[in-house]
Amino acid sequence: MSSIDPEEIALAQRCLKGDEVAVRTFIGRFQDLVFAICLKMLSHREDAEDVAQETLLRSIRHLGGWDQVRPLKPWVMAITVNRCRTALERRSKLPSQNELAIDLAAERRDHSRLQQQEIDVAEELQLALAELRDDYRAVFVMFHQQELSYEEIAEVLDRPIGTVKIWLHRARAQLADWLRERGVVCEVES
């Protein structure tokens, strides 16, 4: 676990007192991280922007519930992942949006099959990430893109480290299979 930063505690206390400068500082510190996670988990820019904004506001409103003996970043990331899960659940309950997402995914797959040579690995990886189970995607993004340790991810998701390792392994395997099927040559570390 990371050491506690006294500056984080002071920032949180100032935010709770309504200090606008502190609130802007808090948002500036976490907005890129929150948006990156939202974009990777939701695969839709507008949804990611909405959920990121909601996450930051919720984080600020609930700073009083933050356990100050723990680092602030994993706490914010946990809220982010939970907000993304909620957004994905809402999305899955709306048939018209779900059908549109399926149609778009099918169109992307058809398009990529026709022009596979022109699509780079990053785009293929984004398509593959969208196909992963939510938990696998969250672990993959936090480990590989946010560079969190197994321990930090376990703390964010409130899961045992063993579960995090299994989910990461399965995510990598599924991504590798997807990329192989799509003709993208890759070596995946286990």
Element housing 180 (H / E): helix 161-181
Based on the fold, state whether residues 55 and 121 are members of the same structural domain.
Answer: no
Last residue of a domain, one of 68, 93, 118: 93
Based on the fold, state whether residues 3 and 64 are members of the same structural domain.
Answer: yes
Overall average pLDDT of the 178-187 stretch? 72
Overall average pLDDT of the 129-142 stretch? 89
Overall average pLDDT of the 107-115 stretch? 56
Return the pLDDT at 129.
85
Last residue of a domain, one of 93, 114, 134: 93
Question: Residue 161: pLDDT band by 50, 70, 90 thresholds?
Answer: very high
Instruction: Tell me how long the chain is.
Output: 190
Alpha helices in 17-149 (DSSP H): 20-42, 45-61, 72-93, 95-114, 121-131, 134-140
Spatial distance between the Cα atoms of 124 and 91, rounded to a whole number of angstroms: 23
Question: Residue 168: pLDDT band by 50, 70, 90 thresholds?
Answer: very high
- Hey, is 69 helix, strand or coil? coil
The larger pLDDT score, comparing residue 103 to residue 163, is at 163
Mean pLDDT of the chain: 83
Based on the fold, state whether residues 50 and 101 are members of the same structural domain.
Answer: no
Q: Looking at the predicted structure, is the pLDDT value of residue 151 above 60?
A: yes
> What is the residue range of 20's domain?
1-93
Last residue of a domain, one of 72, 93, 114: 93
- Hey, is 90 helix, strand or coil? helix
Q: How far is CA 74 from the centre of its chain?
A: 12
Rg (alpha carbons) of the chain, rounded to whole number: 18
Number of neighbouring beta carbons within 10 Å of residue 180? 12
Return the pLDDT at 1.
45
Total domains, the chain: 2
Question: Residue 190: pLDDT band by 50, 70, 90 thresholds?
Answer: very low
pLDDT (tens digit, 9 = 90+) per residue, 8-51? 889 999 999 999 999 999 999 999 999 999 998 898 899 999 99
Based on the fold, state whether residues 70 and 103 are members of the same structural domain.
Answer: no
Spatial distance between the Cα atoms of 80 and 37, rounded to a whole number of angstroms: 7
Spatial distance between the Cα atoms of 159 and 155, rounded to a whole number of angstroms: 7
Q: What is the DSSP letter of 187?
A: -
